[in-house]
Structures are given as C-alpha cells and as structure tokens.
Amino acid sequence: MSGGPASSTPKRSLGGWALIAVPYLWLFVFFLAPFFIVFKISLSQVAIAIPPYFPTFDLAEGWAALVENLRELSAENYLWLTQDDLYWKSYMSSVIIAGVSTMLTLLVGYPIAYGMARSPKAWRPTLLMLVILPFWTSFLIRVYAWIGILKNEGLLNQLLLTLGVISEPLTILNTNIAVYIGIVYSYLPFLVLPLYASLEKLDESLLEAAEDLGCPPWQAFWKITLPLSLPGIIAGCFLVFIPAVGEFVIPDLLGGSDTLMIGKTLWVEFFANRDWPVSSAVAVILLLLLVIPIVLFQNQQQKMAEKDR
Amino acid sequence: MRHGPTWFNVTSLVIGFSFLYLPIVLLVIFSFNESRLVTVWGGFSTKWYAELFRNQQLLDAFWVTIKVAFMSASVATVLGTMAALVLARSGRFTGRSLFSGMIFAPLVMPEVILGLSLLLLFVALDQARGFWTVMLAHTTFAMCYVAVVVQSRLVGFDRSMEEAAEDLGCPPAKTFFLITLPIILPGVIAGWMLAFTLSLDDLVIASFTTGPGATTLPMKIYSQVRLGVTPEINAVCTILVGIVTIGVIAASLVTKRQQLQKERDERAAYAEPS
C-alpha cells in the first residue's frame, strides 16, 4: 500500500460511495436490523394470532397507539427463562458439549494439519483439496451418514461383533458421544485449515537449530512448533466452538432426548410450541453468550489480516 | 528424518482421511444396496435411483433448491465481490469496523439465530414467505463467504496495473472490468461455487424462512431422515455428493490450467525482446 498520498486517502467518487453503500445497506437491512426485531419480539407476549405475538406495531395507527403498544412490552420472557431450568441447563450443556467437542477436534485435527504441513511439497495441494472436499459436501448428508454407522444394528456394531471385541451392541446413537463424534467430524476442516496455514509458514530452521543444540524432538515440538502455531489453533477453535454452541442438526439427529442443546431448544420452542417471543428471548441470550467469543475471533482475524499485508 | 514423511505423519494422515471419507464412502456403497435394510448387504442394485426419478415431490424439491441456489449464489457473488473491494480497497470510512463486523459475524453466527431473525424481519415487513424469502436469506449469509474468499485474492495483488490504467485516464469502472476482474476471477468463481453449495446444503435457515410451495431438498431429506435411514435417501445423497465432487474437481483443474497458462504467457512475454 505505498501508492503515495493519492491511494492512501482515496478521494471517493460517486461510484466509490455506491460501492460501499450497496453491500452496507444490504447487510444492514438483512443482518443487523433483524436483531432489533428479534429483541423487540423477545419483549412481546405470545398470542393466538397471525403473527403469533402481541403487540404488533403499525405506524398507520398513529402515535398514541404506538406509545400504548410500547407500554405492553415487558421482560417477562426473560424472567421465564430464569424460572424454567430447561433453558439454563440447555445453555450450560451447549457450552460444555461445544467445549469438549472443540478440544476433541483439536486432538484429532492437529496431527492431520501437522502431517500435511510436514508432507512433501508436491503432495500438499492434493492433501489440502482432500480436506476441503468434505466441507463442500452437504452437512446434513455427513451427519446422516453417521446414523447408519452408529445405530445399534449399524455398521460399527456389526464390525465390532464380528471381530469379537464386544458381545452385545453398544448404544452410541442418541447419546452425547454420538453428538461429539458428529461435531468433530463436521467441523474438522474448519480447524485443520487455519492450523495448516500457520504450521506451513513455520520456519523450519528453528527446528533444525533446536535439533543441532541437542533438543529432543518432543521438546522442540512443545517449545517451538506449538507456540508458533497458536494463532492457527485459536482461529480454528473459535471456528468450531462458536457455531457448535448453537448447533441444531447434530444434536437433533444424533443426540438423544436427554441431549440438551440450546439450538434444539430454540427450534422446538419455535416450530413445536409456536412460541415466537420465548424463542426470540432464547436467541437474544444465546447471542449475548456468543458476543465475547465472536468479538475475540474478529479481533484475531483482523490482526492476522493486517500481518499478512 | 524431518525432510521425509515420517511414519507418524503418514499414519496420522491415513487415519485422519479415513475418518473424513469412510462415512461418505459407506453411504455411497449402501445406496447401491438391493436390500431395504440399509446395513445388510443384499447385492448390487440401482433400483433406488430409479425409484427417485418417480418421486415427484423429491424432484420438485430438487428444482426449487437448484433455482434458489443459482439465484442466491449469483446475487451473493456480486454483493460479496463489492464488499471484498470495500474491505480491501476503500481505506477508512465511517462505520468501517461495523461493516467488517457484519461481514465476519455471519460466518460463525449459529444458523438458528440467522434463520429466526430473518423470519421475523420478513414477518415485520409483512412479506409472504416462500421462494423469494429463502433466496434473500441465502444471499445474505452467502455474500459474506464470497467477500472473504474474494478479499483473500485481492490482498495478494499487484496494483501497479490498475494504477497504470487509472493514470492513463481509464475510468474506475472500466479499470475494474478490464483489469481487476480478470485477475480476481478465480476467487470470484470459487466464491460463487461456495455460495451455491452453501445454499444447496442449508436446512436451518431455509426451514425458518420458507413458506408454502418452497420446500427445499435438505428440508425434504431432513423430514425423511427423522423417520429413519432409507436407501432412497442414500441415493439422493450420493447424487448430491457426486455433483459437488465433480464441480470442485473441475474448478480446481480449470484454475490449475489457468495458472499454467499465465506462467507460460509471462515467460513468453519476458523472452520477447522489447
């Protein structure tokens, strides 16, 4: 970015402003504004009507009606969330399940990313492609594939029974273990890719120096490779953890009836109970829960983007 | 030792990739199973595929999904490329951090929140839900992915050609179409493909924002999966996996050829005496 003063402070033409305005407005209308609506509805009450909440705002009714309607808003739903322990249990167990799965994904993903970064240069594009390819195939399909494997009469149990490892089929499907497997499997590419990017950039001469100075490989890994791959680890873990907290498909298809996750609770509240205000309140709290990791993630992304320049 | 692949690295790669691919491979194999019992092999058969083409509901859902994915990917590519240009080129302006926040947040935002908030927006706008609302919803989250993909292309980019064009009096829009776009085109195409497959895949956001007559394929698959694993679903999934795999491999081959062509052109240009 050393194009002189003209490019560092571009004087913007009409077209330049339009370029900013169009995507900005789009995201404002379809991404940011809806959150305010969610917040407003989380303060409303459920009603048997279309739409199924009360009050609804209609500017045509005039100012007095608007003020009257504003008075109707209340934090009742949030109070309800604290009273019924289904909700806070769902939040807690979502965070725990997402946290455990993130750690498991890291344990599974690190050796893969490491093996890729240490493989001969000619292999790397193919290996990278092999990691990305499952990411392109449907999430739903990949989760579905596990049902056939993990069922009581599924392929895994059949294999273990034939090998004589177990004498009775294991119950894995519809337990939290199946949810862990599902999350690790589905989100693995999200962790491997940033991790691989930071491991590949690693300066090998550091490891050679350590070896020459008599440092055993395991210690060299612990003292050099791991700390230097930390940005990749952090980025990858965020990319797994944040969406996993609000995951719906995996706990719904692989988890059991006792698998509580907030995404599933919100879905049931919305589609089965048709309680839009409560599901909005659930969404608002979930958003607040995720704001901190999301902001941390963004700061880290921005830092990495600036470093790359 | 470190310069060759060690046994540890090879083992971890083999185990890792089997973990990634085995479930999909099994799913594909069992779509050709004669038996209705999905876990017992009853011989090779393609009858479930034949069955699929007689299932009108499934075919309808397939077309809705393709149409939504095509339109939302196209709009998202235009918007996402614009957003990438803003992120990479526009320097500082008021609300820039809000802008980049709005680009990055949807990438990690749980889908249930995106779906619910968009639905409530459409209800507040008194918009009839159906094909168009799903398309708008998909465009919104897909454009953020496109923006990130295209931006990464724009960052490692030699600006001297653009500057030369502008110095010679080429208007910015023309410079973009004649110089910038051809260079970032692989990124734009990758962005479009990503947007297309994201839309093809999406269950949660589509379920929230859809209305009568706009059932997408993932919604159809989901409602059947809940009833249990069937060979028909395996067959649908195999077809989808096949389409995506062919698309991705074709795209990467095209990119590779373009890269080679470019290198050859450059070498030829340097070889010529000026």
- The 3-class SS string of A8-52 reads HCCCCCHHHHHHHHHHHHHHHHHHHHHHHHHHHHHCCEECCCCCC
Does residue A6 surpass a pLDDT of 60? no
Q: CB of A191 within 8 A of CB of A203?
A: no
Task: For residues A116-128, give the mean pLDDT.
Answer: 86
Select the more confidently predicted residue: B252 or A263.
A263
pLDDT in tens, A169-196: 888 888 999 999 999 999 999 999 999 9
Select the more confidently predicted residue: A219 or A55.
A219
Residue B273 sits at the chain A interface (C-beta within 8 Å): no
Residue A35 sits at the chain B interface (C-beta within 8 Å): yes
DSSP tag of A54: E
**Cross-chain residue pair B9–A108, CB shorter than 8 Å:** no
Does residue B231 have a cis bond before it (omega within 30 degrees)?
Answer: no
pLDDT in tens, B73-105: 999 999 999 999 998 887 778 888 888 888 888
To probe the interface with B, which of A17, A24, A172 has the most B CB atoms within 10 Å?
Answer: A24
Residue labelled with tokens 């953020």: B144
Q: Tell me which residue of B205, B208, B234, B239 sits closest to B221, measured CA to CA.
A: B234
CB contacts of A41 in chain B (<8 Å) are: 120
Burial B3-35 (b: 16+ CB within 10 A, else e): eeeeeebeebbeebbeebeebbebbbebbbbee
Crossing angle, helix A124-136 and helix A85-117, to 10 degrees?
160
Q: CB of A104 within 8 A of CB of A305?
A: no
Distance separating alpha carbons of residues A273 and B174, to the nearest angstrom: 55
Task: For residues A87-113, give the mean pLDDT.
Answer: 93
User: Beta A53-54 vs A45-46: how paired, if at all?
Assistant: antiparallel
Q: Which residues pair with A36 in a beta bridge?
A: none
Distance from CA of A83 to the nearest CA of B (A): 22
Domain with CATH 1.10.3720.10 in chain A: 85-308
Q: Tell me which residue of B197, B89, B108, B210 sits closest to A7, measured CA to CA.
A: B89
Joined together, the tokens standing for residue A277 give: 């205000």
Distance separating alpha carbons of residues A262 and A286, to the nearest angstrom: 8
Residues 133-162 of chain B whose Cβ lies under 8 A from any Cβ of chain A: 136-137, 139-140, 143-144, 147, 155, 159
| pLDDT at A10 (0 to 100) | 52
pLDDT in tens, B194-218: 899 889 888 999 999 998 888 999 9
CATH number of A85-308: 1.10.3720.10
Distances (CA, A) of B178 to B79, B166, B186: 19, 12, 15
pLDDT in tens, B138-195: 999 999 999 988 988 887 777 888 888 888 888 888 888 888 888 888 889 888 988 9
pLDDT in tens, A40-76: 888 888 776 667 777 776 656 667 666 777 777 777 8
Which alpha helices (DSSP H) does chain A contain, by range? 5-8, 14-27, 33-42, 63-72, 76-83, 85-117, 124-136, 139-150, 155-163, 176-200, 204-212, 217-220, 226-228, 230-245, 249-253, 262-267, 276-308
Residue B88 sits at the chain A interface (C-beta within 8 Å): no
Does residue B39 surpass a pLDDT of 70? no
The complex's ipTM?
0.84
Nearest Cβ partner for B163 among A3, A136, A242? A3
Crossing angle, helix A276-308 and helix A33-42, to 10 degrees?
150
**Cross-chain residue pair A114–B12, CB shorter than 8 Å:** yes
Does residue B274 surpass a pLDDT of 60? no
Residues 123-162 of chain A whose Cβ lies under 8 A from any Cβ of chain B: 127, 129-134, 136-142, 144-149, 151, 153-155, 158
For chain B, the C-alpha Rg in angstroms (whole number) is 23
pLDDT in tens, B102-149: 888 888 888 899 999 999 999 888 888 889 999 999 999 999 999 988
Q: CB of A289 within 8 A of CB of A281?
A: no
Residue A19 sits at the chain B interface (C-beta within 8 Å): yes
